[in-house]
Chains A and B, each alone.
Chain A
């Protein structure tokens, strides 16, 4: 009689060295792993739920300003440094890792209107209501040294915004006109006007570094080329734009935040209508900043919320708010794509995670793999109603919730009316105007 014994080749299951991964024999026969769709669906559902449970975006609040935070600036090569200017002319330099203020200086009388760090990161510029442009050293002055600007330029009018060139010693200000300044000179090397209106914001294109755009108070967005003597083009909208930001990865796109609660992404080559209208805010949008990957942007609004929009989607993917946060005036996306900073009326700067449910800190390889897999699962099943319901659920404060509801009703009513008018008039006499076309008045050459 033969005795049956298990016999296996040790080569199949013994690892060669200690450093090898343990060999786990697997049988991939699908008959042994049935119901793959339903199993993965369950996993996706769980991942989505956990995502919402772990969504804790608020990281820290930096307090210390004695007036509303009016502007902020990212350091160009230090992630842990943030500069902020308040409405009383005070500028503070923050260490974000320690959540503390490392330096305070009285930069201006009145508001600090704009602030920007030079591309090398050794100095920064501020403009204020006292008609001055000041350049400051980034280093803290030593003991006994006076806190003095490196350079002060007295302007003729109030400056409302400021931006620095990506790699040249040139910066741009805006106020009654848009000025291009050489750092070495006390008068602008070029100034652009178009009409008599004042400008609220000016931004250099980070890729095509000679181009810049500004928002004017005559509801227009104007494009300039630094090398030309005249502005390039302007688009007039139905309401005023407060600020704009260029997409850092796609040079021809920019997004402007508008008074009519919306944001508009334009292609600078085709200004006659925005590519996308981003809606969700329930009050004027005050500031916008792109993520460094150019895939998303964050907007700050007067409705006391911060929202994150994918660059090519019309609605926000995230809304951040806290009980104590008032009108958010300025917002920045950190240069490593992980954090969002918002400065608001009630003197605080808040630090948020860009992905609300993301784990901070070091991830073990398996952890990362798991999170990647979960992400993919969520993506795969995101059309399924239950998963969508959970993934899209957000809590909103009562006031904003009701306001958005009201706005929805209003919009619906308007649409209904338009439809009725169209129905009862001669065919073709009331054309259908798309949402994108609605907000542009004209493009001026």
Chain B
């Protein structure tokens, strides 16, 4: 019984093992084999049992049967019955489908067995299949579904990805016929060119290379390559032979040999040269130049002049040694040879020519004279043969350029098309320059109210005084100042121009950026400017808006005022390069207090004029009498000085009486104390009106104005001048002509009520582009197409009215 129980145990462990391994099929197989062996063992075991205990045979037999059944149930092949779905499903899983004979191995012959029987299959495919059958290589398992899908998606995305602009042409030069379709040679010159091209087999149409070039482009054949190689080898060998020979010759120490050699060489050379003069004069000339150079060098150097160490030693010996004497003689000869001036045929001719030129023979003129006819057209500088223009002319042209530049800068979105200038526009331009001048002269001043009044009155008074003074008294100094001011203004203009030039690309950039929509919503930078200010207050009337601003003001009041001047941008018209100007600045005293020089101007009096001048003089006399007591100019100066004094920092006195000393009335502070406790502030930066004689600029921060001023440089601008230049240009019809106003104030996008705007069509993009390119090519100005939105992609809306 004990054995039986042990058997049971054994079977249990087996069962365990088999259940453990049930998962993997490969392992399962081996496991199955193992099970069979075990079973055999068990049968042996059973035999033993039967031999030993036969009385309990019947019952054991039954048990054994049971056991065997159990074991076979455990170890045998268990067929998995996969669940099948009977109802219709939206998606069928690939795992739930099972076919007949699923587990069996499939042979290729099973699949293509019918091939042999069907006559339609070609011999080729049969052959292929046969080779496939023979090859023992296993086919790689296909990628997983997820992976294949991913690859498919990727490929599809690449395909679907749009490239804009849709029909981009390849950069670089294009063949003519692609650029211009239907172009024909019309002018005789063109025809001639084309005739030449075709005669020389140059490509006119698509293949850009000539036939020869194409041939050369093709690879060399083998024979050609071999021949070429042999040639190269030969050349190399010859070179090496020659090198060896020269080396050998150089090593020969015999002087006589070398002398003879040299002589022969020289002779040879002279002969060659003579020939060369006849056959190839250019080369001969070059040679001549070389010789000339050598001569020069020789003349400069002390090489063969017996002044070296060696020569000196020889000179000592020369008395006694004939060899030394000879050597020295030789040296000198060499020198003589080298420094001798060559007289050849070529040189002679030249000299003759020179002589003739110097002689000023009228019949023989220099070559360039023949190039152009002399004195045909005096107005044409090219015909006159002058190399430089009149300086005056140049200047005027420059000035014109300048003004033109200003114009273009002023009107934004200037179109390329040249509109014929009307008189009006010419006038406007003039005015524009005047305006600029005025702006330069009259600085926009931020003044306190009372100060403003004062300055106004002062200015008025000045005006009056001006009228009071006679015309002749319009001081020379003032003129000078004006001139200086004009100069300044010119300078400023230049600067402005530069600023604008800087600004334009900036603008373009900005537009680009906005069109790409790349940088604008940089949430951090633009938030403050773009964000709405949402409050609980409604605006219903204009008073509400005022109230809104009042709120803002009070808020600003409460908030600590940021330190002025340094951060604040300078006012609009403050000249950019103040430093420069200050150097050339006008001293106030000089300008205003110098006695004027009276210039007597002879006047051609007419009868009318006489009357007028009489009147004028009377008037002036009256005015002078009336304002006899006022010295406006000096008043103004006083005022200015007062302002300056007020602006100066005060000395802060921190002394406390009685500390460290006796206290009381009438006591003087000690020097030490004064030094220690009286603080002197650093002098302030120079005032802005230092160089402006008739102006007082207050440098105090004025809150009523700062509320309206931009206190930080807005985002796309890089310098104050850029921003200021945008603000300075007026847009209204008060300052611009009707046409300009229309052009300036035209909105970027115009939509009409009741017109459906369809989405951009692909064809339209193409069409638009083609049109543009055509227009560019022919420089035809198509009046219908209009650009909306400067840097935006050129888009024209289609309007369909219903």
Contact present for B548 and A389 (CB under 8 Å):
yes
Partner of B162, one of A29, A251, A335, A388: A251
Interface size, chain B (Cβ < 8 Å): 94
List A residues 388-424 near B (Cβ within 8 Å): 388-390, 392-396, 398, 400-401, 404
**Cα A79 to Cα B710 with chains together (Å):** 43
Partner of A276, one of B517, B552, B754: B517
Distance from A235 Cβ to chain B, minimum over Cβ atoms (Å): 12
Question: Which residues of chain A come closer than 8 Å to B533, judged between CB atoms?
Answer: 389, 392-394
Question: Which residues of chain A come closer than 8 Å to B157, judged between CB atoms?
Answer: 223, 232-233, 445
List B residues 743-802 near A (Cβ within 8 Å): 744-747, 749, 751-762, 793, 795, 797, 800, 802
Contact flag A43-B534 (CB < 8 Å), given A230-B149, A277-B523: no
**Cα A404 to Cα B735 with chains together (Å):** 45
Stretch at the interface among A57-65, A108-116, A142-150, A378-386: A378-386
**Cα A319 to Cα B548 with chains together (Å):** 19
Q: Mark B135-160, 1 if CB is under 8 A from A, else 0.
A: 00000000000000110111011011
Question: Which residues of chain A come closer than 8 Å to B758, judged between CB atoms?
Answer: 292
Is B514 positioned at the interface, with any CB of A under 8 Å from its CB? Answer: yes
Distance from A292 Cβ to chain B, minimum over Cβ atoms (Å): 4
Is A322 positioned at the interface, with any CB of B under 8 Å from its CB? Answer: no
Q: Mark A425-437, 1 if CB is under 8 A from B, else 0.
A: 0000000000110
List B residues 507-534 near A (Cβ within 8 Å): 514, 517-518, 520-524, 526-527, 529-534
**Cα A396 to Cα B538 with chains together (Å):** 8
Contact present for B548 and A390 (CB under 8 Å):
yes
Smallest CB gap from A21: residue in B: B738
Contact present for B514 and A393 (CB under 8 Å):
no
Question: Which residues of chain B come closer than 8 Å to A50, judged between CB atoms?
Answer: 542
Question: Which residues of chain B come closer than 8 Å to A269, judged between CB atoms?
Answer: 161-162
Contact flag A28-B737 (CB < 8 Å), given A233-B157, A385-B707, A393-B533: yes
**Cα A128 to Cα B61 with chains together (Å):** 73
List A residues 46-85 near B (Cβ within 8 Å): 48-50, 52-53, 55, 77-79
Number of A-B contacts (CB under 8 A): 260
Contact flag A390-B545 (CB < 8 Å), given A319-B534, A401-B535: yes
Distance from A211 Cβ to chain B, minimum over Cβ atoms (Å): 6
Is A19 positioned at the interface, with any CB of B under 8 Å from its CB? Answer: no
> A265, A318, A336, A395: which has the most chain B beta carbons within 10 Å?
A336
Contact present for A28 and B517 (CB under 8 Å):
no
Q: Mark A316-327, 1 if CB is under 8 A from B, else 0.
A: 111100000000
Stretch at the interface among B189-197, B236-244, B667-675, B724-732: B724-732
Contact flag A276-B521 (CB < 8 Å), given A53-B545, A208-B762, A295-B749: yes
Partner of A249, one of B432, B520, B526, B759: B759
Question: Which residues of chain B come closer than 8 Å to A79, judged between CB atoms?
Answer: 754, 756, 802
Q: Mark B85-120, 1 if CB is under 8 A from A, else 0.
A: 000001000000000000000000000000000000
Question: Which residues of chain B come closer than 8 Å to A383, judged between CB atoms?
Answer: 529, 710, 714, 723
Q: Mark A184-217, 1 if CB is under 8 A from B, else 0.
A: 0000000000000000000000111011000000
Residues of A in contact with B (beta carbons under 8 Å apart): 2, 28-31, 33-34, 36-37, 39-41, 43, 48-50, 52-53, 55, 77-79, 156-157, 166, 206-208, 210-211, 223, 225, 228-233, 248-253, 265, 268-269, 275-280, 292-295, 311-319, 335-338, 360, 369, 372-373, 375-377, 380-381, 383-386, 388-390, 392-396, 398, 400-401, 404, 435-436, 445
Query: Which A-B residue pairs are the 6 nearest by beta carbons?
Result: A30-B435, A276-B521, A314-B521, A248-B759, A206-B759, A292-B757
Residues of B in contact with A (beta carbons under 8 Å apart): 90, 149-150, 152-154, 156-157, 159-162, 164, 424, 427-428, 431-432, 434-435, 438, 444, 514, 517-518, 520-524, 526-527, 529-542, 544-545, 548-549, 552, 572, 608, 707-711, 714, 723, 726-728, 730-735, 737, 741-742, 744-747, 749, 751-762, 793, 795, 797, 800, 802
